[in-house]
Chain A
Amino acid sequence: MPVPEVKDNFAGSVNRITLGATKDEGGTRSSIVTIGGAKNVVYGGCPEDAGETPVIAMDVLDSKPQDWPDALAEPYEDVLGSPADWAKKCVDEFGAELICIKFDAIHPDKGDKDADHAVKVTEEVLKAVGVPLVLWGCGNDEKDNQVMPKVSGAAKGEKCLIGTVQEDNYKSLTAIALADGHFLITAAPLDINIAKQVNILASDMGFLLERMVTFQSTGALGYGIEYAYSIQERQRLAALSGDKMMAMPVICDVGYESWRAKEAKAEDSPGWGAVTDRGPMWEAATATCLLQAGADIIRMRHPRAVAAVKKFIAEVWKNTG
């Protein structure tokens, strides 16, 4: 019996965007990163439909993390207090294609540091590494609105990815990201309708849809990953059906979420294997799982997890036809 043809009639595709500005484009980046562009679901259609290779953004915190498990802190022991050295280590030793500065310490409950601190960290990291940057606020609306516009300004013209903006707090950061030539992360709490709404709101302010990246919120493996998974699949299908408001590439926060899981950090769990192995594997599994649902940028933390996921990406997205 002849095997029938499978034809997909997708009208749309995921937007393709390029992060980072080199000297020629008025920035100082030595490398750039292009993401998105998928014209089918993951593993669907022909090889060229897969779009750009997904990338890993390695997290660098703006201050020494207080609550990292030993297994996670150990590879960074010598650099945790210096964001610039930390970023350099991620790029030089672990092959990070993007660095995500997470401004945890500006949060009122986690150090309450000011805009000067955040600007200094941004400038130092920009100097230390040549990869494009992701600039991620602390999650406290008031503080983010105070500090992140300054951060945006400090990286003006570098074509960073900055965020996040939410349904009820988007105006100030959207406006400044627009003025400084950055790309914007629109965030929603595992709710595809709110995700679309945020995109519409930012777009109404004149921010180009083609310069946005969506953050649907991430659940770790074992802690709600299936919600993020299905929302990402639905977003991809919406993009393919031609919905311009949902055609953004997707970013996931795998590092933070997976290291909160009990399985990743519980020291005393007989029969589960050594905690030094479990943590990185929990992070790698979370990232791999979300890649199956369509993820374009994955924020990660542990070098061993990064290595395992990079190996997977290289194998599965390689252009061998």
Chain B
Amino acid sequence: MATIVAEATGQAILHEEHEQSFLRKYIFSTDHKVIAIQFLIYTLFFLMIGGLLAMLMRYQIAWPARGELPLGGIFPESMVASGYILPEFYNALVTMHGSVMVFLAIMPMLVGVWANYLIPLQLGTHDMAFPRLNMLSFWAMVPAGILTLASFFVVGGAAGAGWTLYAPLSARPDLTGVGLGQILWLVALVFIGLSSILGSVNYITTTINMRAPGMTWMRMPLTIWSLFITAILALLAMPVLSAAGIMLIFDQTIGTSFFLPEGGGQPLLWQHLFWFFGHPEVYILILPAMGFTSEILSVGSRKPVFGYKAMVLALVSIAFLGFIVWGHHMFQSGMNPMLGLTFTVSTLFIAVPSAIKTFNWMGTMWRGNLQLHSAMLFAIGFVAMFAIGGLSGVFMASTPVDIYIHDTYFIVAHIHYVLFGGSLFALFGAIYFWYPKMFGRMMNETMGKIHFWLTFVFFNLVFFPMHGVGMVGMMRRIYDSTGYAHLQGIEDTNAIITWAAFGLFASGFLFAFNFFWSLKKGRKAGANPWNATTLEWQTPSPPKHGNWEEVPVVYHGPHEYSHPDVEDKDWLAQNERPDVVSPAAGSH
């Protein structure tokens, strides 16, 4: 417990750097910045894997009877037989696409990468509160990733009961043919839970106790607020998933029957536990993205964040409401319909803070001096796409409408507008924005802009038509829609979606190329290429081990851009003397 590294002064830590071996410095590092970069590489890899799974899935949906899968020969016979994706492999694709994207790509990219990188830097401290636990939180993800990849190659293939793992399907190998694959994924999930909890303990403790002098709560950048709230959600939600996952493992392995009705168990108990975790999880996946967006929009508009206090309050209320809305995933599950009523009310009200945030982002852009670089484009794209995802959510919050659209592609469209158009757009923006701080070089702007426009266009071509397919009534997770009378006539739409999905996947490689190319060839970025005010930009790029020669002192709020009394420049860093800025930098 008392394993905290003694941090005497920044000097001591800088000195220590010279003595570190390669292994200590880059592999088993306790430096939050190195851990963040490890997470970044890890999550980009799994983002590609998740995308690949989606491409295979889309191929099957567009041309269910065609076979002829390109490069189908490289897959084992148990997955693709003479060019045909087999139904069991399709179920594994559906399941693992969702699981990999949520747990191994988006969530660790939002939190593992950016909470690690930004919390100590933006708060003005040397490192996390518990650097060794932090290292452990990355290394717990490694077995999770290995188990996940391995699960595709065991007998029966990877998990095939959907990312939501609904019991009894997920608990009874005799009904799916999937045995070990399901268990491996559940074990991976326990490791992910451990990683997430260790990380959260660190993020929360660091934020509570290690802020630089003068960094009061209401002077924290919105990124920190969102990551802090997210960490609280993960801290409280992940253990419930771990508990449920362990019970499900027991059902599979040692003969318990928590979720199996024949042994007296309750299938709906799984759903309650899963969604008690799952809905806060939805906010874990979007709140950090909201934080990045607020930050980038403010820097790119050269304006303070509009309604900072309202933004903080909205974050807090979303987090609170997030714990009492889980039942809205279960309106058609057989749960007591009267419970559905209460969940409708709480769910609809969560739309209010989301609306507040959207309007405040627009307010931030209003009368700004917009710098439309790649990071800014992705941040604006986030607002535009998140708005669609939020609005389509109103349909399913209205229980009667949900009767029809539940479990159709309308839901698929909704979740992707939030998770891809929302979280991933903001993540791309965050990478373009903080890359110079991480690596000391800028990413290429031209490639960045092309990447944005390709992503934006293909993304909408993929997911907007899914609303239509859902309205027609296409069910989720079906291997072949052509057999249904009511689904006749959507084949062309599905083919267009698939072609656009290929384009979307391909444009990811432009990003990857830019990412690695810029490491060596990118323009050198000074300490503060964006003329930004928050603390991470007031130290060299990349920052040294220990971050600061001398801990900065904070004098005012985080987004002082274009202050009328500041001459010569349009920004005032948080650690610059406040003589010209009023100390109460809240809304007035």
A binds B: no
